[in-house]
Chain A
């Protein structure tokens, strides 16, 4: 394993606590965790692309980051309506 693969493994492992917050805490706290998971997920894809030497994998990160942003905005819309 080179340093990029180790970094990718650490980033993927960092998604687990975010999932835990989503499952165990309130909706608002879960949205915050989803926000962070989107950032970490996009970066993990980017690091995997670099680790494997496959540039097209970087496109996945470029798509994942804006989609995660849009998805979080949808969750925020639901959050505003929850009272």
Chain B
């Protein structure tokens, strides 16, 4: 096994492991907010898989596509997590901002 193969195996294995861990976390957690914490590592897995494709193919069309997908997921995933939390709070409480009944102190700007 060459060094290149070893790098590909490690990156691909780590990327898939990230996705599986995210999947197990989403299934095991108790509510939507807890589950959202495990969606973030999925974007990291995309970067690792794109790295594995780069390590195997070098600069090529599929490597470029993998990079585009990984960058998009890296940018979109946190924004989507924020939007999901906001929508879930609006659905639960009618407003996304902290409510007096929650006992959260908010500093006025």
B68 and A62 contacting across the interface, CB-CB below 8 Å: yes
Type the 1/0 row for B47-89, where 1 means its CB is closer than 8 Å to any CB of A: 0011001001100111001101100110011001101100110
Contact of A65 among B45, B72, B81 (CB under 8 A): B72
8 Å CB contacts to B: which residues of A1-59? 3-4, 7, 10-11, 14, 17-18, 20-21, 26-29, 31-33, 35-36, 39-40, 42-43, 46-47, 49-50, 55, 58-59
Q: Is the interface of B mostly helix, strand, loop or mixed?
A: helix
B91 and A80 contacting across the interface, CB-CB below 8 Å: yes
Q: Which residue of B lies closest to A77 (CB)?
A: B87
B23 and A18 contacting across the interface, CB-CB below 8 Å: yes
A17 and B53 contacting across the interface, CB-CB below 8 Å: no
A61 and B36 contacting across the interface, CB-CB below 8 Å: no
**Contact partners of B8 in chain A: CB under 8 A:** 3
Chain A's nearest CB lies how many Å from the CB of B68?
Answer: 6
Chain B's nearest CB lies how many Å from the CB of A5?
Answer: 11
Chain A residues in the interface with B (C-beta under 8 A): 3-4, 7, 10-11, 14, 17-18, 20-21, 26-29, 31-33, 35-36, 39-40, 42-43, 46-47, 49-50, 55, 58-59, 61-62, 65-66, 69, 72-73, 76-77, 79-83
Q: Please provide the 3 A-B residue pairs with the shortest distance between their CB atoms, ordered closest to farther.
A: A58-B65, A28-B32, A76-B87
Q: A11-B19, A39-B77, A58-B65 are in contact. List 4 more A-B contacts (CB 8 A).
A: A43-B49, A46-B50, A46-B69, A77-B87
